[in-house]
Amino acid sequence: MREQGLQLRREPGERRLGGRGLLRVSRDREENSQEEGEPHIDKSIGHENSAAIESAVMQRVKVVDSHTGGEPTRVVVSGGPDLGPGTLAERRRRFEREFDRYRSAIINEPRGSEVIVGALLVEPQDRSCAAGVIFFNNVGTIGMCGHGSIGLAATLAHLGRMQPGEHRFETPVGIVAVTLRDNGEVTVANVPSWRSHKAVPVDVPGIGQVTGDIAWGGNWFYLVDWNRTALTLQNTETLSEEAWKIRKALNAQGHPDVDHVELVGAPVAAGSSARNFVLCPGKAYDRSPCGTGTSAKLACLAADGKLAEGAPWVQESILGSTFSASYHWLDRASGKVAPLITGRAYVNAESTLLIDERDPFAWGIR
């Protein structure tokens, strides 16, 4: 059955998405919005100093915020940069090279925080896909984001642009399938995942030797069984320091591509399989169980024969929120698996970010 797409053709009342995509929104939500790149003169301040007001150029970026298991996602639905044509990987590089200030303005203080993951909607190159998306955080872009894909599905449903059923999102690292259910749950069929290195020892200053696996789940992870510090919310500062030391040592000792560290411990809640603490590239810890991190964990479990194909795995976050997961084999010889991650997101804000060129921090603090 053909997936239900977002019908990204222009219709009455539509506005451009960042990166040439289109998203129809209701006219009442568009009352004060403008075409991307079109200057907006803010006339709400008053009539005094009218010359200065009229000379000010105000850019508007429309976003919808959600959280998945406590981890926020900010979807840019209009006002983002036009990234032009090309593959998602090419447009990701163009975003990094030419429009990084938009990333900073949307995610960094004073409008955002290090915790938020952004999702820039773009036109998919693969026409079977409902949307293209480039994920980004407080320090750069990321290849794939599991919690963000769940948040994106919830956001598009909230906007009336996605109905329950199967859909496909195109990301810079591949296509992911998402299934939106009537109860709001979303299952992400993630990109192929695998373990590249088993039992990699790392000498970590102040900690000692640590041993863990390196695996791909849409991002690169170093996964360590951890009992040095309890995986509790009260210990997040200590856990962040430990995970950051591990990452720096790992990068310096020959694995520079690994930018996520996942500490794994015993579960707290009944019915969970394990609890994790994931430190993301910008030193913020993941509040959710981490979709790509869970995918990497599944790949390791599959490679070790510790979890059967199709068997359930319930991943618990540092907050206690959970993702339900499983996998099936793609290629046993290479160790590649296809993870399925199920969770739920809740939309909690619709906002218009104002970028005032007179503001010294208009493009974020960085």
d(CA 190, CA 187): 9
Residue with tokens 């993630």, as numbered in its chain: 190
For tokens 């979890």, name the residue. 307
Q: Which of 129, 145, 280, 300 is catalytic?
A: 145
Phi, psi of 51 (to 5 degrees): -65, -45
**C-alpha–C-alpha distance, residues 252 and 353, integer Å:** 38
For 56, other C-beta atoms within 10 Å of its C-beta total 16
Q: Strands, E, within 217-286: which ranges?
A: 220-225, 260-265, 274-279
Residues linked to residue 338 through DSSP beta bridges, in sequence order: 328
Tokens of 90: 């090419």
Distance, in Å, from the CA atom of 199 to the CA atom of 187, rounded to the nearest integer, reads 30
Do residues 319 and 287 make contact, with C-beta atoms less than 8 angstroms apart? yes
Give me 315's structure tokens: 């991943």
Pair 223, 213: CB distance under 8 Å: yes
Is-catalytic flag, 280? no
Of how many residues is the chain composed?
A: 366
Task: Check if the beta carbon of residue 167 is closer than 8 Å to that of residue 157.
Answer: no
Q: What are phi and psi of 232, to 5 degrees?
A: -130, 160
Point out the catalytic residue in the list 129, 280, 290, 300. 290
Count of beta carbons in the 10 Å neighbourhood of residue 77: 26
Active site residue 145: yes
Q: Which residues are catalytic?
A: 145, 290
